[in-house]
Each structure stands twice: as C-alpha cells, then as structure tokens.
Chains A and B, each alone.
Chain A
Amino acid sequence: MSGYLGRRLLQMVPLLLGISIVVFAVIQAAPGGPEGALLAAGRFVDPAAIEAYRARLGVDQPLPVQYLRWLGAAVSGDLGASFSTSRPVLEMIGERLPATIELMGAAFAIAALAAFGAGAIGGFWPGGWADRIATGGAFLGMAMPIFWLGLVAQLVFGVTLGWLPISGTHTIGATSLGDHFAHLALPAVVLSSRYVASWSRYFRASLLQAAASDHVRTAMAKGLSIVAVRRAHLLRNALGPVASVVTINLAELFTGAVVTETIFAWPGIGRLFVQGMYARDYPLLMGILLLGSLAVVVMNLVADLIYGALDPRVRLR
C-alpha cells in the first residue's frame, strides 16, 4: 500500500509538469494581451505607457523564455506577481481561497444531506411516490442553468421576500456568525443543486445493487433484521462508489463555483479567475489553474485510496 502511495506521489511530478505546459500554451495562445484591460474603458492611453507596461511584465519575451522563468520560480514556491496588482500570486490566491472552500464546503454539506435523504428514500423504497418526488426534485436542480436558479433565488428570497441577503459574505460592520451564515445560505443552496442529482442517483443505485448482492441475502437468511442488514452491509458497500464520485467532485473545490460567485458577489477564486482572464493576467491564471489541477490530482488519489479501503474486492497494486 505504501508502495502504491509512493508511486502515485512520484507520478504527480511529471503530471503537474505536463499540466503546466499545456495550461501555459493554452493561455498564451489566446489572442490579445494584458494591455486589453488598460484600454477596455475607452480611455486614451499613450502608446508609450502601454509599451512600458508590457516591458515591465515581460510579455514581449519569447514564450519558452517566459515559461522557463515561470517554472524556475514556481518550483521554489514563487508563483510570480500578478500583472494587475503586482502582488504575489500566492498571496492573492491565499486571500480568496478560503471563501471558495467555505462556499463549496457548505454546498457539499447541503448536497450530501439532500442526496443522502433522496438516495436512501430511493434505495429503500424504490419506485414509490417519495422516490419519484425526490428524483424529480434532484433532477430539476441539476437541469436548471445555475445562473438562472441563482438570480431567481435572489429575486424571490432577497428582493421580494427580503429574507436573505444576496451579495457578499457579511453585512459590513456585523461580526455575528448568524449574519455570515445568512449570506452563505443562498449561494450554498444554489450551488448544491448541481451535485444533489448525481450523488443521490449514485447512492440510490449502489444501495439497490448492494441489496441484490449475495452476502446481503445471506445475512438475511441468517435471520438478521432488515434494519440491521441495512446498517451493517448495504450502507458500507454502497458508500464505495459514492465516495469516489464525491471525492472527484471535491476536486472542484477550488474552481467549481465561478458562476455562483459572480452572481452572489462571493469573493472567491472563481471570480478572480474570470477577471484574470479578461486582463490576461498570466501569472495569476497559471497559479489558479495549477492549484486547481493539483487539487484534482490529489483528490483522485484520495478517491482511489478510499475506494480501496471500502471495497475489499479491489486491491490497489
């Protein structure tokens, strides 16, 4: 097992290197440069100012040179300075990451609860009316474009009913946790809608599959009550694939909330990325994409480990 882990960790290095090259190429190949942000407002900008700006950022150098300079700094932990703010990229990401993690975490928690409920209903009473309603609701949430759902939620709960705030993480000046959770409520619920459907379906399907399997029937033949069977066998076996799916979705922890953050003015990484793209802030974009990729790779490893731990039939070689 530790050999497997060691090997996987070692494989991460060339993987991340490959990712960095692909990402760099894709970002740089997009037409236009960082001076776009200078000119976007329609202001008159002296060409000399634009040239000085570009020279300071080093964007006129050949691409391989730019990549190698970035790489050289990156391996020692320095992800460079943002083009727009001249601040260290790592610092900017560090500031915004907690907000995204919090939002995604809350969304996952809500989705997990809802999926657990819907999946369990479907798994233990398949085909019933409760199953149909739960399935329907889950699919509805997943099929609605998230920005539409978000804006409708804003309009209904924020404006018309006035129950919840619709932007920011807290009312400025207020320090209460309750105020903060009120601000978190709408974006987290809206974001969770995306995951509820697939998680509940996986959970339900696994439950059904496990219920039909041999050792459950054996356990019931041995006289275990249905409740005990559920608790001891079904849930554990069903959790395997679900854990895989969930951990893979967890990899989106860093970058999955772009649209939700934009709508609810949530100060996360997703919004930072969008702005960075408009401004062609290459160091910032590289930093965010690399970190996001790292998260995916790590989460995949975690998913595989969990699957191996939960399902004894799978041996990790």
Chain B
Amino acid sequence: MTARSLTVIALGVLAACGDGPGAGDRRILRVAYEREIDLLNPFTSQNLADISYTMIEGLVTTDENNRYVPVLASAIPTMANGLLTVEPNGQVRATWPLRSGVLWHDGAPFSAADVCFTWRFVIDPKSETYNREQYLNIVGCETPNDTTVVFTWSGEYAYYDGLFEAILPRHILGSMSAEEIVRYEPYNRGSKTIGTGPFRFAEWKSGEYIRVVRNDRYWRGADLPAIDEIVWAFIPDANTRLNALKAGRYHFGRILPVQVKEIQSLPGVRTHLVNSNSVMHLDLNVKSDRGRRLFGDLRVRQAIAHAIDREAIATQLMEGTVTIANSPINVSSSYHDARAVHPAFDPAQAAALLDQAGWTAGPDGVRQRDGERLGFTMLNRAGATDRIAVAQVIQAQLKAVGIEVRFETLESAAWTLRWRTGQWESIVSAWFLPADPSLTGLYACDGANNMTGFCDPALDSILERSDRTLDPDRRKRDLDLAQEMLVATARTLPLYYNVVPEVVSRSIGNYRGSGTNFGSFWNVFEWPLAP
C-alpha cells in the first residue's frame, strides 16, 4: 500500500504542476477570495460584494475615483441634464433612462418593471435590506415605457443616485412576498440567481469555491467580457492566501497591509494599495456620567488628539501603506474638505491643555482631578489584529502625557453587542462608508449609528441640510462646514484610511482598483487575461 500511495502522490504532484493559472484554451481568472459567502442575494447577504456584482448589475456602480457611474441606467439624472426635476409640491422626479436590448441570463428581456419590482421588495419591512431607510423616501415608481423608470421622491435627497446597486429579476421572483424571496433558495444558492451581468452562475462548491462563466448575451457587446470564467476560491486565512499567491496559483488576491513587504519582490504580480472607504478612528463615549466627566471637556478631547502621533502610526506601524485621515469622507471624494485638519502631534500642547482643564500630574504618573484618575478602558475586538495594534500605540502615546488606557477585549459578537448598545468608554474602530458622503447616520444626535452620545443640534441641522439638497455645490458647502465642525468639536479622531492591498497578476489588464463596497471587480467585463 505504501508504494502505491507514493506513486499516486507522485502522479498527483505531476498533475498539479501542470495546472498553472490560465492553463488550456479557456481564459480562467482565479481569485483567492478572502471570505466565504453566505448567500447570493445582494440585498440580504452579510458579506457579499465582488462576487454578486459580476453576475447581478444595478442602475449604478462606483469607479476607481469613488464616483457613481451608470450601468443599467444609460445616464444618472441630475439637475444639469434635466432628468431630475423638483415639482411645485416639493416632490422630486428622477427619470432614469435604461439601456435597451439588455437580457437577463436566461434570455428574458430586462425592463423598467424589474426596477420598480426591486423597489417594492426593498421597502418591504421583511426584506431586511441594510439601507432600507433611504429607499423609503421614494414614494412612487412609474414605468412610462420599458426603458424608462421614474422615481418620485418625497423631497430633495442628495443620495438619490447611489441606490439600486442591484436589480432583482421580476420574472423569477415577481410572484413571491418579500419574506419568500429572502428564503428562496434557488436565488440564494445559484440555480436561479439570474442577473444581467458579464458572468452568470455556474457552480458553488460549499466552503471551497464559486465558479461563474461568461455571459454570451452580455449587453455591452459580443466580445465582452474578455474572460471565459472566474473561479473564486475561498481562502479566509490570511497566511494561507499569501502563500497561495506566492505559489503562483492565483491571479488575484487581497492581503493584509503588514504582508505587503512579503510579496513585493515576487515577479509576475503587482501589489496595489487600494485606498478604501473605510476610516480607522478613535471614538470617545459621553453617554455615561463618567464619560461626560472625562471627555465632556473640549480641552481634554483636543489634548488626546494632540497626544496621538498619527504620522508615526501611518508611516511606522502601517509601514507607509495608509494615508492619514482628517475626515470620515475619503480623500478621493469631491466632498472631502482638505482644510479640515485635526491637530498635529504636540505632546507639550496636550499636557498644557490637560493642565488647563484641571487634570494635574498624579503620584503614579497618571493625571487626576478631584481624586479621579484620568484613566479609561478601550474596548477591543478579539482577532482584529490591526485595530489592537493601533490601540496599543495609542495607549503608549497617551501614557506619555499622563492618560491611562486599559484594554477590555471581547470576542467578536460580544464586542458588537456592547458597541451597539454604547456600553464602552473608548473604541478604535472602522466605518465602511458608501461612496455617498452622507454623515447624518454617524453624527446626528439620533443618528442610527451614533453610539457615542455626542449631540450637537447645530451640526444636526447642517447635516440634514446637506442630505436634503440636490445642488452639489450647496451640498459641498454644507459638508465642508460639517467636517470643520467635527474637527473643532474633536468628538472623534480619524486616524487613517484603511488600505486594501490587492495582489494582481501582470497577465490581467484594465484593472482599476476601487475601495468602495462595490470593490475592484466593477469593471471586470473589460479585463483581458493574457495566457
């Protein structure tokens, strides 16, 4: 038995050696994917991005410059092109012209009715769509003809152009209730996952990979997509993924910033540091009495900002792979305000501010005031190594000015519960923002994602105003003001924009990496794959 198994293994080795990426006549793109997918419905999946968008398209997507570009729509309505009009009664009509001649994967024609059907699904409370609230401001959907959809909005909403990232097929799901669609396994699992995208579902081997094959009816033209097949292999472990990329078995894979140095010398690939819409930041909580006592004073918050050396974090800890963030809005966005800059690293100034605020040096090096020590806990999430590393650097830097930070580390779901319910004193965390720069949910007094307890009615009215205008210039002015107010009130300290290092084989062309929630495969239809 031993000799036979040796022979078999030897044969296997030979077979494996022959199968490099792209072998054979078919152009197969192999992706070392960093997570496992739960289901394919883009509205209900918890972790789906790239994979579904190669199969299922929406009205828009985002490009590498963080801008919305039309996909199934042939143009995005704006005031300038006249497709966006404000009615006398305050409502807004957005007319979306759709591309003609688009077919679903099964040959059925795509039409405006599919778009209105998708809207009806999303606004149903049982659809569990993560951004349903934004869709609720659409009060009507009309289809004057097959290639035009008209949405009636209850008022002016600036984020009207970022919705409908996916369209559901009415001819498959049209007769079901929202609840039934959420549970509908053929759509979740692939056998009836019908879209209009450049690829269509082929096979899903649970826990191993998903295969999608070329859609020969793709509306962009007979010669697109330029690839025959994409295989997404699930390799969640970061080290294994790196090793797999180094072994040359995949054309594409995402790695950790700390691994960039490991792969830079590898020939045949290029590592792109894609700027992500995810901003790492330090939050302070003033919901509790203690929180208010410690952080309620602006000088203390400014002192904390002065005490943290973000430059060192970006250049040394993150080895220069990230850019310092001064605003939650990404630097690539046209709404980013370059003038809103958080205080520079200045420990002397930090000490001075703390002295002014009444926190004087205590016997053990930790400042105190009225018998209370300037010490607080930071809630860490177990397994989030990058955040824990940043937290440790912050702890050391704050210690240098007499502030004591203790860690409390909880497992992922336990951490999420405490975070959501505001039971923490400080946190290093990252928001993954959509391309649309609305900050209301994060910073408004009753914003759904404001867990910090900070409340500024003046900021609230500016944020509301920035959401409720269709004039980009007015919106920019309001958002600039909001970003400057955020700096002035020092209620949160953005640290850096996360970077997603993408290792891309040189045999791939037209790669235009994007760090939005649509991901870098937004233009995969035009990627050629050299053999």
Q: Which residues in A have some Cβ–Cβ distance to B below 8 Å?
A: 30-49, 52-53, 56, 84-87, 92, 95-96, 99, 113, 151, 154-155, 158-159, 162-169, 171-174, 176-183, 185, 262-265, 267-268, 271-272, 275, 278-280
Contacts and interface: CB of A to CB of B under 8 A. Distances in A.
Contacts of A45: 130-131
B15 A33 contact: no
Given A180-B12, A182-B16, A44 B449 contact: yes
B240 A84 contact: no
Nearest to B442: A44
Given A47-B448, A151-B240, A158-B243, 18 more contacts: A44-B431, A52-B126, A56-B179, A84-B46, A85-B188, A86-B182, A95-B206, A159-B243, A159-B246, A164-B16, A167-B233, A176-B12, A177-B12, A263-B237, A264-B240, A265-B240, A275-B36, A278-B412
B417 A53 contact: no
Contacts of B414: 30-32
Interface string B430-459: 111110000001100000110000000000
Contacts of A95: 206-207
Interface of B: 2, 5, 8-9, 11-17, 19, 24, 28, 30, 32, 36, 38-39, 46-47, 125-133, 179, 182-183, 185, 188-189, 205-209, 211, 231, 233-237, 239-240, 243-244, 246-247, 249, 278, 410-418, 420, 429-434, 441-442, 448-449, 517
A48 B12 contact: no
Contacts of B17: 162
B211 A49 contact: no
A174 B206 contact: no
A38 B12 contact: no
Contacts of B411: 30-32
B432 A167 contact: no
B448 A44 contact: yes
A85 B235 contact: no
A265 B236 CA distance: 7
Contacts of B46: 37-38, 40-41, 84, 279
27 contacts: A32-B411, A32-B417, A44-B431, A44-B434, A45-B131, A46-B130, A95-B207, A113-B2, A151-B239, A155-B243, A168-B233, A172-B211, A173-B24, A174-B16, A178-B13, A178-B16, A179-B12, A179-B19, A181-B8, A182-B15, A182-B16, A185-B12, A262-B237, A263-B240, A271-B207, A271-B236, A280-B413
A21 to B, nearest CB: 22
A271 B234 CA distance: 11
A168 B249 CA distance: 11
B432 A49 contact: no
Pick the 7 closest A-B CB pairs, nearest first.
A267-B207, A32-B413, A182-B12, A36-B413, A178-B12, A178-B11, A31-B414
Contacts of B36: 275
Given A92-B206, A159-B246, A280-B413, A43 B517 contact: yes
Contact of B133 (A48, A87, A151, A268): A48
Given A35-B416, A166-B243, A265-B234, A86 B188 contact: yes
A241 B155 CA distance: 79
B16 A32 contact: no
Given A95-B206, A151-B239, A168-B209, A43 B15 contact: no
Contact of A178 (B8, B189, B233, B432): B8
Given A99-B207, A182-B12, A173 B19 contact: yes
Contacts of B231: 172
A280 B412 CA distance: 10
A267 B130 contact: no
A49 B45 CA distance: 12
Contacts of B208: 168-169, 265, 267
A46 B182 contact: no
Contacts of A42: 278, 429-432
B213 to A, nearest CB: 12
A155 B233 CA distance: 19
A185 B206 contact: no
B240 A167 contact: yes
Contacts of A272: 207
B128 A56 contact: yes
A44 B441 contact: yes
A163 B15 CA distance: 11
Of the candidates A34, A39, A169, A263, the one having the most CB atoms from chain B within 10 angstroms of its own CB is A39
Contacts of B125: 48, 52
A268 B208 CA distance: 9
Contact of B412 (A36, A47, A151, A182): A36
A171 B130 contact: no
Contacts of A262: 236-237
B354 to A, nearest CB: 31
Contact of A265 (B128, B189, B237): B237
B429 A154 contact: no
B14 A178 contact: yes
A185 to B, nearest CB: 6
B486 to A, nearest CB: 17
B5 to A, nearest CB: 8
